[in-house]
Structures are given as structure tokens and as C-alpha cells.
Amino acid sequence: MIPTEVRALAVSASASLPAYITDLPGLLTHAQAVRAALPDNVELFYAAKANPQRPILETLDGTVDGIEVASGGELSHVRDTLPGSRLAFGGPGKTADDLELALKLGVERIHIESVHELRLLADAAERQQTVADVLLRVNLPMRVDGAQLTMGGAASPFGLDADALRECTALLRMAPRVRMHGVHAHLASGLNADQLARVAGEVVKWAVGQDLPLSEVNLGGGMGVDYDDPSSVFDWPAYGAALAGLAAAHPDLQLRIEPGRSLAAYCGYYATRVLDVRPSNGRAFAVVHGGTHHLRTPAARGHNQPFQVVSVERWQHPWPRPSVTDGPVTLVGQLCTPKDVFARDVPVRSLKAGDVVVFALAGAYAWNISHHEFLMHPSPAFHYLEPS
């Protein structure tokens, strides 16, 4: 599960743990495999919100067709990192300043989430005397079973329902500097390839049945990452085949997808040291250096973050080494909250104070969504495995 190079770096860099270790060659190989599984006429954009670090963006550049950003800050960061990249700007709550910036920096597509947002954009385009190219993000009345997160199909802060969609299309007729190209529909996350293919088919069927300007459909992301079984990877060839069928049936329609987690998660690792192992009412707890203020993902999603123990034989103290052998252990961090948990009651053969623990699937929605300042612990180090 953990590449040899990552394990070796975690041990050699033990003095600087906790640390994030990013396998850039692994990221590139995975992204290239995803691109190869997709039809040539389906565009692949990377959702920067998953992990916007410069080495990640630079590694993906040239393999993905563009980058999707979701704030003015992400927009500035990505444009600075990849000056020539194609950009799409999504997300709710865009400010007037965000939209002004998007026009100035040449964003290719702006995803409109509300009537008010469309009015703001039309006003900005008029003042800048430029054209804004948009997709309308739609909240379709579609039930999506088996999703880990649902963004549509019911009352939601995301996208336009039927009434708002009609109002936007009416406004567009009076906004000559806003040009509609189609729709965006990201309804749910955490789906397998068969589930996502069914959603894609329903979205395209709905879109072509509407009386709308339609040359593009952005299907968003939503590809599941299985934290319980890291070896189970989203079936990109199956999803690519489904998209190929849709593209063949609608040759005049540009399809685009925007994965984030499913591209970046597998390349990232969070390595740390075991500070203590202690019993409590029949259970064993291992306290590690760091915590969910570095890696919030397991606390936010309520799963066990997969990990491997790297045994370290050094022990500098004269008293017995706290440990657990052949039993379940709960891995927690240093925070003063019972929610600071990485994994609960996971069987281990041996875990000792001073050992190194390497958490996998930490390449997306990890450091960048964590509450860094809580208790003012130091930040982790960052290491990158570079291409040979």
C-alpha cells in the first residue's frame, strides 16, 4: 500500500515528522492512465480544491486539459502557477470582485450558480467591455443513490432549480456580453463508475431535451475514493467507455469532467511518529505527533484513514517502551478533543512509541481543509518525490 520510497523517506526524515510526502511520479502515472481511459473528445479538468499545491498543479499540467477553481484566491494562485492554463471558475458565493478578476485573467468558463451571480457578471462584463463565457450550473430533480455527498436533487445551495434556470435564460437574452455555452451538473460525490455513468447519461438526456443554447455539458467530478480499501480504485476504463458512448451519440456536444480527489488522493501520504501508547478501559490508544489539524479528512468523513506502521527499533529512554501487540488500537492526535481520531480499533501486529506511521490517501482534501491554527501546534513539513 505504501511505496518503498515513501516508507524510506518517512524514516530518513523522522526528525522532521509530521510531514506530508507527495509521490509526484505516481501522480503523473495515475493522471496519464486516467487521460488514456477517456475518449479524446472528452475534456479532463482538475478540480484544484482537492489539492492546489504548486508541485501538484505543475505535475498535472500537460496531462489535464485545464484547471477548475472555486474562489478568487484559487484563481490567482493557479493563474500564477500555470500562466497559460485553461481555467473554469465554479463554486457558490462568487463576489463581484471574484467575477471582475475572472474576466481580467481570462477565465474560459464561469459556472453560474444563481440569478444574482449572473446579474453581477453581466454588470462586470459591461463595465470591462468584454465577453463572459458561461455554463449554467443546474440542480436537477434527480435522485442519486449511494452517494457519499449530495449537492443536487433537492433543496441545495448549489446550482439553479427550474424557476431560477428560466429566470437566467431570460436574463441572458438581455445581456449581450454574457455568452451561454451549456450547463454544468455536479450532483453527487463518492460514486462508482456504474453509478456515475448513469448520472452522466441522465444529465445529458435532460440537457439535450431543453430549449437552451447547448454546445457543452460539464459533468463535474464525483468519482469515489475508497478509504476502507485503498486498492479499490475507480474504474476509469468503464467510465471512459460510458462517456465515449455519450459523445458518439451527441457528436456536436463537448463533454467535460472535473475530478479532484480521485486524481490527487493516491499520491499523498501523511507520515508521523507515535508519541505514546496507553490503555484505557480495555482499549488501546496510540497518540501520534500531529493530528486532524494537519489531516482533517478522517474526522470530516468519519472513516478510518488507512495506514502502515514502520517499525523503528531506537528507544532512547531507560523505562519500558509503551506498545500494543496483536490487538486493536485507536490512533489519535495531540488535540484536546475526542474528535481528533485518525482510525478506530484497527488491528495491528505491533505498534510502539517511537514507531513511524504512514497514512495513505492523503493527497486530497487533507492539509488544505484542516484547522491549522487550533492549539497552535507546528505545521508539518512537506517532501516531494521527484521524477527520476
> Catalytic residue at 336?
yes
Question: Could you check whether the bond before residue 18 is cis, i.e. omega within 30 degrees of 0?
Answer: yes
Catalytic one of 173, 336, 338, 378: 336
- Asked if 64 and 238 count as a contact pair (C-beta separation under 8 A), the reply is no
At 60 the three-state DSSP class reads helix
Distances (CA, A) of 83 to 61, 72, 298, 366: 11, 15, 34, 25
- E strands of the chain, at which residues? 19-23, 42-47, 66-69, 87-89, 109-112, 132-137, 149-150, 178-184, 188-189, 216-218, 254-257, 268-280, 283-288, 307-310, 323-332, 341-352, 356-359, 381-385
- Asked if 223 and 166 count as a contact pair (C-beta separation under 8 A), the reply is no
**CA–CA separation, 199 and 311 (whole Å):** 45
- Asked if 378 and 282 count as a contact pair (C-beta separation under 8 A), the reply is no
Q: What is the distance in angstroms between the CA of the first residue and the CA of the last residue of the chain?
A: 21
Distances (CA, A) of 346 to 228, 266, 273, 332, 349: 11, 21, 17, 12, 10
Give the phi and the psi of residue 323 in degrees, each rounded to 5: -160, 165
Residues involved in catalysis = 336
